[in-house]
Amino acid sequence: MRVPFGKKGLVAAGAAITGAVFFWRVRARRREEAEAREWEAEIAGAVDEGRAAAAAGGSPASPAQPSEPSGA
């Protein structure tokens, strides 16, 4: 079988394809890691907001806060 660019061209094409696949997989992995970091930051922010709201006394589900005044 005759290859238009010879063996060197075939090897170069294979290397280019391999490099492109490797680059694509690394980029996909980095994108997934970035998304995971964003989710972790979003969750941490929501937890902090919840803690701040509970500390401000706005949480009716908090066991430390009675639902009705005891002096009534």
The whole-number pLDDT of residue 5 equals 75
pLDDT digits (tens, 9 = 90+) for 10-38: 899 999 999 999 999 999 999 999 999 99
The whole-number pLDDT of residue 69 equals 59
In sequence order, what DSSP letters do the residues of 14-71 get, joined into one string?
A: HHHHHHHHHHHHHHHHHHHHHHHHHHHHHHHHHHHHHHHHHHTT--TT-TTS-SS-TT
The whole-number pLDDT of residue 41 equals 95
- Whole-structure pTM over 0.85, yes or no? no
